[in-house]
């Protein structure tokens, strides 16, 4: 299922639409510090995509806002399903490459199939299996999975629990699940993701 996975135009449209809805909700909520109006202050991004499809290069803007009130001017960067925090690769690449690394017997094959250096994929596996499970987000969602998730097999262990067999839908569900950890400037960012 994962070998040969490439991002389609429709997949990119779905992720862009999700991020746009979340960004609109964050902007409408006003400044999380003073309640002031939030103006656009988006970041340009040029994500790496490995061998997963040049269409992901279209993720060229990371939505962000800046308070318009003088004296505050604080930023609010919404949760994202396109970007996993400051990682330079598109979020979908981080998910799928880590899944493929868990399924492959050889590191050389992982590099050939993903276009991502093996050391980078190993760092991502460490993120999924140690750093993510130490977050408040993981503590709040882990009880949803019965039986418990084998964290040594993350992110594959979570993706395998999704009811759909469509790889695009599985990846977008995984990205939606972890979106709240993609920002620290919006408290309880998960509420903006859950609402739509």
The answer, as to whether pTM is greater than 0.85, is: yes
CA distance 116 to 102: 14
Number of Cβ within a 10 Å radius of residue 153? 16
pLDDT at 188 exceeding the cut of 80 = no
Phi, psi for 12 (deg, rounded to 5): -65, -40
pLDDT at 195 exceeding the cut of 70 = no
Number of Cβ within a 10 Å radius of residue 115? 14
pLDDT at 189 exceeding the cut of 80 = no
**Neighbour-count burial for 165-193, b at 16+ CB within 10 Å, e otherwise:** eebbebbbbbbbbbbbbbbeebeebbebb
pLDDT at 191 exceeding the cut of 90 = no
Summarize the confidence of residues 67-88 as an average pLDDT.
Answer: 92
**Residue pLDDT, tens place only, 13-65:** 999 999 999 999 999 999 989 999 999 999 999 999 988 988 888 888 999 99
Summarize the confidence of residues 70-98 as an average pLDDT.
Answer: 92
Residue keyed to tokens 């490995």: 50
pLDDT at 172 exceeding the cut of 90 = yes
Of 66-80, 119-133, 172-186, minimum mean pLDDT range: 172-186
pLDDT at 196 exceeding the cut of 60 = no
pLDDT at 10 exceeding the cut of 90 = yes
Please state, rounded to an integer, the average pLDDT across all residues of the chain: 91
**Residue pLDDT, tens place only, 37-48:** 999 999 999 999
């Amino acid at each position: 299922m994962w070998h040969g996975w490439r991002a389609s135009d429709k997949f990119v449209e779905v992720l862009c639409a999700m991020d746009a809805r979340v960004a609109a909700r964050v902007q409408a909520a006003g400044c999380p510090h003073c309640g002031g109006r939030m103006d656009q202050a988006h970041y340009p991004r040029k994500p790496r995509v490995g061998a997963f499809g040049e269409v992901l290069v279209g993720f060229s803007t990371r939505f962000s806002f800046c308070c318009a009130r003088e004296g505050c001017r604080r930023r609010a960067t919404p949760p994202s399903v396109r970007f996993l925090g400051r990682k330079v690769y598109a979020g979908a690449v981080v998910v799928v490459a880590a899944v493929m690394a868990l399924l492959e017997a050889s590191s050389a094959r992982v590099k050939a199939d993903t276009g991502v250096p093996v050391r980078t994929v190993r760092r991502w596996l460490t993120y999924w299996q140690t750093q993510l499970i130490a977050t408040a987000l993981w503590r709040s969602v882990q009880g949803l999975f019965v039986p418990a998730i084998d964290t040594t097999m993350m992110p594959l262990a979570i993706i395998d629990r999704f009811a759909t067999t469509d790889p695009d839908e599985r990846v977008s569900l995984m990205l939606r699940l972890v979106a709240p950890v993609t920002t620290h400037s919006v408290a309880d960012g998960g509420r903006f993701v859950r609402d739509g």
